[in-house]
Amino acid sequence: MRPSRQQTFRTDAAAKLDQLELVAALLERDATNNRAFINEINSAYSRRAAGRPHKRLLRLRAMARGAQSAAVWVVSTTLAIARSRQVRAAALAVYAFAVDFAVVLSVISAAVIILTAAFLLTAPPV
């Protein structure tokens, strides 16, 4: 006697359910074993307090904030100099003074070198 379609369907469904239960049990076993393996590996590394950034990261953040504030200061100062006629005139006067001072120092240095050379050439040997 052949089984009915409904009995065949129930038998196939039960076999598939058994197979799925087996797969689920195997996956659960693997997950448990992997979790234990990962915990064993992680226990070898030292832990730091959770929620507190690393010291290097804090230093990098502070350096980045300092660099950003310095860049903002440079840009704002440059814009203030470029927009203000009086500040621009003062900066040009300081630049002109520095150039004149450098020229005067170079002339004095050349004169001292020339006088030293003349003295060495005209002095009798000892």
- Give pLDDT tens digits for 81-90: 888 889 889 8
pLDDT of residue 3: 66
Domain assignment present for residue 10? The answer is: yes
Q: For the chain, how many structural domains are there in total?
A: 1
pLDDT of residue 13: 81
State if pTM tops 0.85.
Answer: no
**What is the distance between the alpha carbons of residues 100 and 107, in angstroms, rounded to a whole number?**
11
Contacts of residue 82, Cβ cutoff 8 Å, sequence gap at least 6: 88
Domain assignment present for residue 105? The answer is: no
Q: Name all contacts of 84-89 with Cβ < 8 Å and 24+ positions apart.
A: none
List b or e across 98-110, with b for residues whose CB sees 16 or more CB atoms inside 10 angstroms: eeeeeeeeeeeee
| Angle formed at CA 86 by CA 81 and CA 92, multiple of 5 degrees | 70
Domain assignment present for residue 103? The answer is: no
Q: How confident is the model at residue 15 (pLDDT cuts 50, 70, 90)?
A: confident
Domain assignment present for residue 56? The answer is: no
